[in-house]
Structure 1
Amino acid sequence: MSSPTSLPEVQATFVAQRRALTLLLLTLAYFFSYMDRQILAILNEDIIRDLHLSDAQMGMLGGLAFAIFYAGLGIPVAWLADRSNRVRIIAIALAIWSAFTAAGGLATNFWQLLGARIGVGIGEAGSSPPSHSIIADLYPPEKRASALSIYSLGVGLGAAFGTIIGGVVATKYGWRVAMYVIGLPGLLLALIIWLVVPEPKRGLSDAQVAMEDTKPTLADGFATLFSNRAALHLIAGFTLTSMIGYGHTAFGPAYLMRSFAFTKLDIALKIAPAAAVILGIAAIASGKLADRLTRERGLYAQSTMVAVLKTCALPFTITYCLASTTQLAVGAYFVAIFFSTAYLGVTFALIQSEAPVRLRATWAAIMLLINNMIGLGIGPMAVGAISDALKPTYGTESLRYAMFTFAAITPWAIFHYWRAGVLLKRKWAERQATI
């Protein structure tokens, strides 16, 4: 006669059965966050004309103003997520940022739009750290890179579909309606996540669970992360890569419009769909490759993989910035994003694998705090400021050289991923020696 199944076992089985659905819904939330975050890029030129703004002001709206609140609130929200129900936090956060995205369509001046974008940043602070923590609980280390690479699809696909939807709607109905169309559907998704996604047990997919019965402090999160040199190099590489990416994404459509006479519809219907397909293939393939390398060589190989792929991407990124023809610029852009996409999901997975189980959301939030204050906070604003400074010399071509300046930083990021791989390999070898 079989023994009765305990309630915790029943709950664990239920959570496992919904693992794929949970990953899908969390990826959709991340997708919506990037649509809402990057919608300004395709609307850039329309907003500048309508509200009489400069490139630097647009860079502030898309960067620093958002990043200060997004990154700053991420720490207390993550602390709460490590101690309470993460699913509820994500659902509430999604509802907040979706509402403020739509509210941006009501703005009639810079300060009103600034307020709306700050609201988006406040809401999005509650999305990624608890999502990383949940996914790490649902997937074991040897499958974690694939899972978090699927989750990272939200970045590329969100930005691409935000461009597609925003470009088409803005062309026909204006930029304000585009903000409503992008923002409001997130309210429905928030309700679905609240009702459907289960809260998994901490460390559900880990062989050994540390600190399971304790509630760590915020100081524990900072102390454990800043004592991990490999994690610090990962965060440095991630932050520098994001700074370049955010700067290019914020002004990429404007660059194509100014330097190659693209229209919003050209970008929305020709560039963005192709980019979405390439980003999707690259993210999934890089996650599977990372997991395979983990099984064959160890976790350290994931960081080395990112360094190699970023090195492959660099000449194409530079070509994209300096190309003299449309065909060369677009071709180089597609190749560059194929190789560049690998870093995101892999970095998320590495950080979650290094983090103590009860501090996963806090580690993710600290990483995102540093990344967004520097990467998102400085990236778009600096590209805009450099472009404004170069306009007297280069006119409409100023964005080209502002974006090239940022692309030239890439070797610095590559070094940090390489160094993280060296340190992780050393730790892996030490563990193997004790077995």
Structure 2
Amino acid sequence: MTDAPAPPAVRAITAGYRGYAMGLLLLIYVMNFVDRQVVNILAEPIKRELGLLDWQVGAMSGLAFALFYTVLGLPIARAAERGHRPLIIAGALALWSLFTSLCGFAQTFTQLLLARIGVGVGEAGCTPPAHSLITDYVAKEKRASALAFYSMGTPLGSLVGMALGGLIADAYGWRMAFIVCGIPGVLLAIVAGLTLVEPRISATADEFKLRTQQMRDAKPFRDALATLRTKRTFWLVSFAAAIKAFIGYGQAPFAASFFYRNHLEEVTRLGAMFSLQPGGFLGLALGLMAGIGGAIGAYAGGVIADKYGGRDFRAYVSVPAIASVAVIPVFLVGVMSSSAVVAIGSLFLGAVIGTLWYGPVYATAQTIAKPHMRATASAILLFIINLIGLGLGPLFVGALSDMFAISFGMGEGEGVRWALIVAALTGLIAAVLFWMARRSIREEMEG
């Protein structure tokens, strides 16, 4: 095997610029999830207008997006190891934003599916280079907190996408919701391309040329795979996180449908109290639940892991293991309740506990990988998480909902309820895998 090249020198980043860059990367990731998750609040009106089954909703919101998102993440990460990461992020942002707006023009299921594939193609260029940039921007002891801060884009983007999508859909229809949500990303891409700094520097042009050639010759993807193949912790954490994503992504497209089918009368009454239609109320309620609750959980998980991980690296897997068990009864209370208010409250608490894994998992992957392999390690992790979680989760829950509703004769309301319950119980497998990683994590950290 070719010796791994020394990582390029990294420019010192001032505290002020670091704060700006982290804030901008968070905003980009928020847009990533606005465009990815807005489809969830729009699923029911799309289903009615286009005459879809739940499995088709699952395919549209998950599988079509995930196949291209996961596969393209690997070559994009390869480019990010030696390329200009801010420009990669900016170009990807512009692309997925344009395809989000195009979703609003779809007239058939196939057209919408193709537009969602385009969103996935663009979004593949966001997180691997962003994780790599953040790791260069911050000190090792702050890595989990920084990556957890960036990961707040998941719940915050879900908040904006659900709330904005629901309100716009009520007022102007689901097509306009897609169009409006895509426009800001194009403008943000320009800002990112002009202001984000690539911290890799070299003393001379010759040294830069030499380092670039070393990166090409060493084939970082091959080397990363060879290195990670021996890292038991990486694979346990990756598949545990994939199951957590399977649950979260699988349940998300059907959360609004659950309330429409089981609590419509109460939701209508609650919405009227705020002069909102059911779609607008659900968008705000579910968005706030996922956004605020998820942001609290995502950031808290990173802070807790950094605090205790300084003394014992096992905290980086202990925190998500415990949280994976704790969230299950909280979620079950919510979906089994006959009250929409109780359900929303329980799901809010579940969002806090259910996102504690973000920071610890991403920090573990970045610390296990060698410096010149971090974008690739992130892409491999995301490949596993998104292929299983995003690709199969929504399709599984949708197909299970159809099976319970049609084959078992439960009806659409009970069908979606029990599909959500079955998905939640798979979290026990994730907890076991996280806990097993405690045995090897301390020996496998690279730094």
Pair in the same fold by TM > 0.5 = yes
Q: Tell whether the 8 Å contact from 1:102 to 1:180 is kept in structure 2 after alignment.
A: yes
Aligned to 2:358: 344
Following superposition, the deviation at residue 427 of structure 1 comes to 4.9
TM-score normalised to structure 1 length:
0.91
Q: Tell whether the 8 Å contact from 1:39 to 1:159 is kept in structure 2 after alignment.
A: yes
Q: Give the partner amino acid of 2:120.
A: G
- Name stretches of at least 5 consecutive residues in structure 1 with no aligned partner: 1-7, 204-210
1:165-180 aligned within 5 A: 165-180=164-179
Q: Tell whether the 8 Å contact from 2:233 to 2:444 is kept in structure 1 after alignment.
A: no
Aligned to 1:387: 401
1:40-119 aligned within 5 A: 40-119=39-118
Aligned to 2:292: 277
Q: Tell whether the 8 Å contact from 1:16 to 1:138 is kept in structure 2 after alignment.
A: no
Structure 1 residue 288 corresponds to structure 2 residue 303: yes
Alignment deviations for residues 284-325 of structure 1 (CA, whole Å, 9 cap, x no partner): 222211111122x23221211111122221211222232232
Structure 1 residue 254 corresponds to structure 2 residue 257: yes
Following superposition, the deviation at residue 15 of structure 1 comes to 5.8
Following superposition, the deviation at residue 18 of structure 1 comes to 1.5
Following superposition, the deviation at residue 283 of structure 1 comes to 2.1
Aligned to 2:428: 411
How many residues align? The count is 413
Q: Tell whether the 8 Å contact from 2:166 to 2:282 is kept in structure 1 after alignment.
A: yes
Q: Give the partner amino acid of 1:314.
A: I
Alignment deviations for residues 149-192 of structure 1 (CA, whole Å, 9 cap, x no partner): 11001100101110000000000000011001111110011000
Q: Tell whether the 8 Å contact from 2:144 to 2:302 is kept in structure 1 after alignment.
A: yes
Q: Tell whether the 8 Å contact from 1:137 to 1:202 is kept in structure 2 after alignment.
A: no
Residues 349 and 202 (structure 1), Cα distance of their counterparts in 2 relative to 1, 3 Å cut: farther
Aligned to 1:182: 181
Q: Give the partner amino acid of 1:237.
A: A
The farther-off stretch of 308-317 and 83-92 is 308-317
Q: Tell whether the 8 Å contact from 1:82 to 1:361 is kept in structure 2 after alignment.
A: yes
Secondary structure, aligned partner of 2:151: helix
Counterparts of 1:362 and 1:425 in 2: how far apart (Å)?
A: 22
1:253-332 aligned within 5 A: 253-261=256-264, 262=267, 263-295=278-310, 297-332=311-346
CA-based RMSD of the aligned residues comes to 2.0
Aligned to 1:5: none
Structure 1 residue 154 corresponds to structure 2 residue 168: no
Q: Tell whether the 8 Å contact from 1:212 to 1:358 is kept in structure 2 after alignment.
A: no
1:206-285 aligned within 5 A: 214-215=214-215, 216-217=218-219, 218-261=221-264, 262=267, 263-285=278-300
Counterparts of 1:141 and 1:104 in 2: how far apart (Å)?
A: 40
TM-score normalised to structure 2 length:
0.88
Aligned to 1:207: none
Secondary structure, aligned partner of 2:411: helix
Counterparts of 1:425 and 1:292 in 2: how far apart (Å)?
A: 16
Counterparts of 2:180 and 2:415 in 1: how far apart (Å)?
A: 32
Counterparts of 2:355 and 2:69 in 1: how far apart (Å)?
A: 22
Partner residue of 1:402 out of 419, 422, 436: 419
Q: Tell whether the 8 Å contact from 1:231 to 1:351 is kept in structure 2 after alignment.
A: yes
Following superposition, the deviation at residue 276 of structure 1 comes to 2.1
Q: Tell whether the 8 Å contact from 1:66 to 1:120 is kept in structure 2 after alignment.
A: yes
The farther-off stretch of 212-221 and 179-188 is 212-221
Q: Give the partner amino acid of 1:324.
A: S
Alignment deviations for residues 401-422 of structure 1 (CA, whole Å, 9 cap, x no partner): 1111111111100011111122
Aligned to 2:143: 144
The farther-off stretch of 111-120 and 14-23 is 14-23
Counterparts of 1:427 and 1:49 in 2: how far apart (Å)?
A: 51
Q: Give the partner amino acid of 1:197.
A: L
Counterparts of 2:285 and 2:350 in 1: how far apart (Å)?
A: 17
Following superposition, the deviation at residue 328 of structure 1 comes to 2.8
Q: Give the partner amino acid of 1:254.
A: S
The farther-off stretch of 254-263 and 315-324 is 315-324
Residues 202 and 399 (structure 1), Cα distance of their counterparts in 2 relative to 1, 3 Å cut: farther
Counterparts of 1:362 and 1:427 in 2: how far apart (Å)?
A: 17
Secondary structure, aligned partner of 2:104: helix
Residues 354 and 117 (structure 1), Cα distance of their counterparts in 2 relative to 1, 3 Å cut: same
Residues 410 and 280 (structure 1), Cα distance of their counterparts in 2 relative to 1, 3 Å cut: same
